Amino acid sequence: MNTLFIIAWRNCWRNRLRSLIVISAIALGIWSSIFIMGFSTGFVNQRVDKMVQLEVGDIQIHSKTFDFDNDISNTILNKETLITTLKNNKNIVNYSERFISEASAVTAHGQNGIKIIGVNPKNESAVLNLANRMSEGTFLDSKLAYPIVVGKKLAEELHLKLNSKVQLNFTKTDATQISKNFKVCGIYAIGNDMFEGYTVFVPLSKIEKLTGKHLIHEIIVKTNIESQFVAEEIIAKDASNLIESWNIRYPEIAYMIEMMDSSMFILMSIIVFALLFGIINTLTMSILERKREIGVLLAIGMNKHRIRGMIVSESIIYGIIATPIGVLLGYLTISYYGVYGFDLTAFSKGMKAFGYDPILYLALETKYYFMYTAYILFATIIGGLYPSRLATKLNPIDAIRAI
Amino acid sequence: MKTVIQTIELHKTFGKGAIKVHALNDVSLTISEGEFTAIVGPSGSGKTTLLNMIGGLDEVDSGKVILNNQNISLLNKTAMTSFRQKNIGFVFQAYNLIPVLSAYENAEFVMLLQGVSKNERKERVYKLLKDVGLEGKENNKPGELSGGQQQRVAVIRALAAKPAYILADEPTANLDSKSTTELLDLMYKLNQEENMTFVFATHDQRVIDRAKRIIYIDDGKIIKDEIQ
């Protein structure tokens, strides 16, 4: 078998240029697919991280009817019991109680429909990282009487700057309207136009002062383990409210992750399939060029298994050389852009509209490198089968004309 | 003397209908161990077809081919390949060495397929390389050897595996006079000293002159079989 491999190895280098082209094509195929997979993973990771860390938290708790009836009086039930449960759970890092209301924001430049989120700034900052994403001002850390934090998009639309006045209008529990002027103390920018244009933050204490009530519609929770397990633990203690981990609350994001796994598999399959044809084509050409030689091997007594082994070995050699090169190049590319980010500023407008930062940090789970290596090596074995079959089908007489 | 090749009423046709060609027509012959035989005939006479039959490379339409006491008509392709490896040495007109292997590796190749130990292979190959005057050329690739040298390596490849007989198809066709003489001397020496059986298909008068037995074939039939 050793000699078979030596022959296979030397056969691979008979036509150096052709072999180098095949090896380069395989390596390039692997590199490009790893790059695309890293790109997709980076996209999804960024979206999930941003959503969990800046927008929604790991777990959200609402009244069971909150999603269908957003009346201001539709608050969380048994709040005291629930808070005790949250405080006693070791897997919960922090939580933040929120007042939520649809409202309108009015300035001299226009009017926008918005969502008011009333928060305790300290608790909110312990759950979300929004305070670290302030483009101007602070996250409600202000001596202003009625401070408000708005998104960059809303600030652009309503021409708001720090200390600009904005009038918020929303409904009280008795259906009367509240109108109050707030002053901008901070402008956040998270690269998500939809969120920035719609969500404003005000102190919960000021809302209580305006409504005269302690109204909590939402509690967001930060966990230190898989959020779904913690959500189940809370539900086991008290199921009177709707307790959902982020992937249940926003299934489209969870679906996006699942889709990414599937699309990566499809992408890998397409590229491997294309590479397979490259290998088959090269080896078939090589077999046809060596028809006479293979005929001689058959004539002098080399059996079909050995001929097959020799040809498949040639295919595997291409894979063995190309795969580490492609995987290494892919790994280096992902590592580099994982640290320094891939600049997509040219497309930033469109990306921000969908909640993506223009600087994308590529990432790829280690398992994909191993999967891809195994996949390519398997493909090279498959790629060698047809040419090897072609070789063993040769009639030694036809191949060498005659003895 | 032991019979190594026997054909009984061999028939082989190629083509169909009007263009049917009888390549072999009722060919019966016996070749014994130690013979130095030339099969001679014009182009298209059937000598190559006959050589293919006794080389186990082609199937007969009717008749029997008994090689080294084995009726090869009963063997399937895999068994036939194994039979060729163990019993028949081939020397081709165009040498047909494996270009990526050195002279040494080419020479030991059939032994390798037979599973002969490394030491034994080395011993046999070096002895034969020395015998044919290729000492010091063992690491040369076929492309680095002359035609005569390549054909000598091909003879070693055929011989080293200790076959029952060696079939050589126009072995001197691509060689100059000097190389032809050297090759024939080598084969003749092996025949005399090792009692190795050689069967040639040839046009070359120099080969015919050295053969001990000449089988003349024309239109697929043996027309003369003479001992020189």
Q: What confidence tens digit (pLDDT) does each residue in A272-286 have?
A: 888 888 889 988 988
> How many domains is chain B built from?
1
Of B85, B100, B101, nearest to A300 by CB-CB distance is B85
CA distances from A159 to A107, A151, A305 (A): 8, 12, 78
The whole-angstrom separation of Cα A329 and Cα A27 is: 8
Domain assignment present for residue B68? The answer is no
Alpha-carbon span A395 to A398, nearest angstrom: 5
- Asked, for residue B10, whether it belongs to a domain, the answer is no
What are the pLDDT digits (tens) for A224-268? Answer: 988 999 999 999 988 889 999 998 888 887 788 888 888 888 888
Say which DSSP state A53 is in.
I
Distance CA A51, CA A49 (A): 5
Cβ pair A300:B167 closer than 8 A: no
Chain B residues inside the 8 Å CB shell of A310: none
Chain A residues touching B44 at Cβ < 8 A: none
Separation CA B25–CA B155 (nearest Å): 31
The 3-class SS string of chain B reads CCEEEEEEEEEEEECCHHHCEEEEEEEEEEEECCCEEEEECCCCCCHHHHHHHHCCCCCCCEEEEEECCEEHHHCCHHHHHHHHHHHEEEECCCCCCCCCCCHHHHHHHHHHHHCCCHHHHHHHHHHHHHHCCCCCCCCCCHHHCCHHHHHHHHHHHHHHCCCCEEEEECCCCCCCHHHHHHHHHHHHHHHHHHCCEEEEEECCHHHHHHCCEEEEEECCEEEEEEEC
Is residue B3 situated within a structural domain?
no
Does the beta-carbon distance from A300 to B113 stay under 8 Å?
yes
Mean per-residue pLDDT for A70-78? 86
Question: Using CB atoms, which residue from A11, A304, A397 is nearest to B57?
Answer: A397
Is there a contact between A3 and B167 if contact means CB atoms under 8 Å apart?
no
Q: What is the CATH number of the domain that holds B208?
A: 3.40.50.300
- Cβ separation of A397 and B52 shorter than 8 Å? yes
Residue B138 carries which side chain, given as an amino acid letter?
Answer: E
Instruction: In whole angstroms, give the CA distance from residue A99 to residue A82.
Output: 16
| pLDDT surpasses 60 at A204 | yes
Interatomic CA distance for residues B199 and B95, integer angstroms: 16
Rounded to whole angstroms, the Cα distance separating A323 from B215 reads 59
Say which residue, A337 or A49, is predicted with more confidence.
A337
Per-residue pLDDT averaged across A104-114, rounded?
93
Rounded Cα distance between A238 and A257, Å, is 30
The pTM of this model reads 0.75
How many angstroms separate the CA atoms of B26 and B28, rounded?
6
A&B contacts, CB < 8 Å? 72
pLDDT at A269: 86
Q: Which of A301, A396, A403 sits opposite B169 (nearest CB)?
A: A403
Query: What does the pLDDT read at residue A143?
Result: 84
Residue listed under structure tokens 């008068």: B205
Confidence check: pLDDT of A399 > 70: no
Q: What pLDDT, on a 0 to 100 scale, did the predictor assign at position B161?
A: 85
Closest chain A residue to B201, measured at CA: A403
Question: Contact A400/B96, CB-based, under 8 Å?
Answer: yes
Residue B105 CB contacts under 8 Å (≥ 6 apart), including other chains = A3, A6, B98
Angle, alpha carbons B78-B83-B86 (nearest 5°)? 130
For residues A331 and B171, which has the higher predicted lDDT (pLDDT)? A331
Res. A157: pLDDT tops 90: yes
For range A58-69, the mean pLDDT: 90
pLDDT of residue A354: 67
Residues of chain B with pLDDT under 70: none
pLDDT tens digits along B49-94: 899 899 988 888 899 999 888 898 888 888 999 999 999 999 888 8
Say if A308 is an interface residue toward chain B (CB within 8 Å): no
The answer as to whether B116 is a domain residue is yes
Chain-chain contact of B90 with A300 (C-beta, under 8 angstroms): yes
Contact A98, A219 (CB under 8 A): yes
**CB B81 to CB A304 under 8 A?**
yes
* Vertex A208 angle, CA A202 and A210, to 5°: 85
In a domain? residue B8: no
Chain A hits for B94, CB-CB cut-off 8 Å, are: 292
Q: Is the pLDDT of residue A60 over 90?
A: yes
Q: Which residue from A394, A372, A375 is spatially nearest to A383, judged by alpha carbons?
A: A375
What percent of chain A stands above pLDDT 90? 49
Domain holding B182, by residue range, is 36-52+77-227
**Are A300 and B84 a contacting pair at CB < 8 A?**
yes
* Binary contact (A301, B110; C-beta < 8 A): yes
Q: How far is A399 from chain B (nearest CA, A)?
A: 11
Quick one: pLDDT band at residue A402, thresholds 50, 70, 90?
very low
Which of A294, A305, A395, A403 to mutate: most B Cβ within 10 Å? A403
Per-domain boundaries in chain A: 2-52+253-400, 64-240
In a domain, B171, yes or no: yes
- Whether the pLDDT of residue A403 is over 60: the answer is no
With a cut of 80, say whether residue A2 has pLDDT above it. no
Angle subtended at Cα A186 by Cα A180 and Cα A188, rounded to the nearest 5 degrees: 115
What is the pLDDT, as a whole number, of residue A400?
A: 64
Instruction: Give chain B's radius of gyration (CA, Å).
Output: 17
Question: Mean pLDDT lowest for which of A180-184, A316-320, A361-365, B180-184?
Answer: B180-184
Identify whether B70 is part of a domain.
no
ipTM: 0.89
Q: Which residues contact A90 (CB under 8 A, 6 or more apart)?
A: none
Q: What is the pLDDT of residues B45-58, one digit of tens each?
A: 888 889 989 998 88
Strand residues in A63-189 grouped as ranges (E): 92-107, 110-119, 134-137, 147-151, 165-171, 177-188
Residue A27: band (very low, low, confident or very high) from pLDDT cuts 50, 70, 90: very high
